[in-house]
Amino acid sequence: DGGITQSPKYLFRKEGQNVTLSCEQNLNHDAMYWYRQDPGQGLRLIYYSQIVNDFQKGDIAEGYSVSREKKESFPLTVTSAQKNPTAFYLCASTVAGGPTYEQYFGPGTRLTVT
Partner 1 sequence: QQQVKQSPQSLIVQKGGIPIINCAYENTAFDYFPWYQQFPGKGPALLIAIRPDVSEKKEGRFTISFNKSAKQFSLHIMDSQPGDSATYFCAAVSTLLNAGGTSYGKLTFGQGTILTVHP
Q: Which residues bind partner 1 (CB under 8 A)?
A: 4, 31, 40-45, 48, 50-51, 54, 56, 90, 92, 94, 96, 99-103, 105-108
How many whole angstroms separate alpha carbon 2 and alpha carbon 16?
36
* Residues paired with residue 14 on neighbouring β-strands, in sequence order: none
Listed in sequence order, the residues at least 6 apart from 18 whose beta carbon sits closer than 8 Å to its beta carbon are: 77, 78, 79, 80
67 vs 79, which CB is nearer to partner 1? 67
Indicate the burial class of 72 (C-beta count within 10 angstroms; 0-12, 13-18, 19 or more): middle
Minimum Å gap between C-beta 80 and partner 1 is: 27
Q: Least CB distance from residue 75 to partner 1, whole Å?
A: 17
> Would residue 103 be called left, alpha or beta, if left means φ above 0 and alpha means ψ between -120 and 50 degrees?
beta
Q: How far is the CB of 112 from partner 1 (least distance, A)?
A: 15
Report the chain's terminal Cα–Cα distance, integer Å: 36
Name the residue nearer to partner 1 (CB basis): 11 or 43: 43
Nearer to partner 1, 17 or 100 (CB): 100
Cβ-based nearer residue to partner 1, 6 or 82 = 6
Q: Closest approach of Cβ 82 to partner 1, in Å?
A: 20
